[in-house]
Amino acid sequence: METINKIREWYRAEAISLFDAFRTVDKDFDGFINKSDLKTFLVEVLKFQESEITIVRIDRLFKLIDQFKRGCIQFIDFKRLIQENIENINLTITGGKTLPSSKSSFDWIVNCKQQIGLVLSRQFPTLKDSFECK
Could you tell me which CATH class the domain 1-83 is placed in? Answer: mainly alpha
- Model confidence band, residue 27 (pLDDT cutoffs 50, 70, 90): very high
Query: For residue range 31-60, what is the model confidence (pLDDT) as tens digits?
Result: 999 999 999 999 999 999 999 999 999 999
- Asked if pLDDT for residue 67 goes beyond 60, the answer is yes
User: Is residue 26's pLDDT more than 50?
Assistant: yes
Residues of the chain with CATH 1.10.238.10: 1-83
Residues with Cβ within 8 Å of residue 11, at least 6 apart in sequence: 18, 21, 82
pTM: 0.65
To 10 degrees, the CA torsion angle through 26, 122, 128, 91?
20
Q: Would you state the pLDDT for residue 89?
A: 41
| pLDDT at residue 85, as a whole number | 61
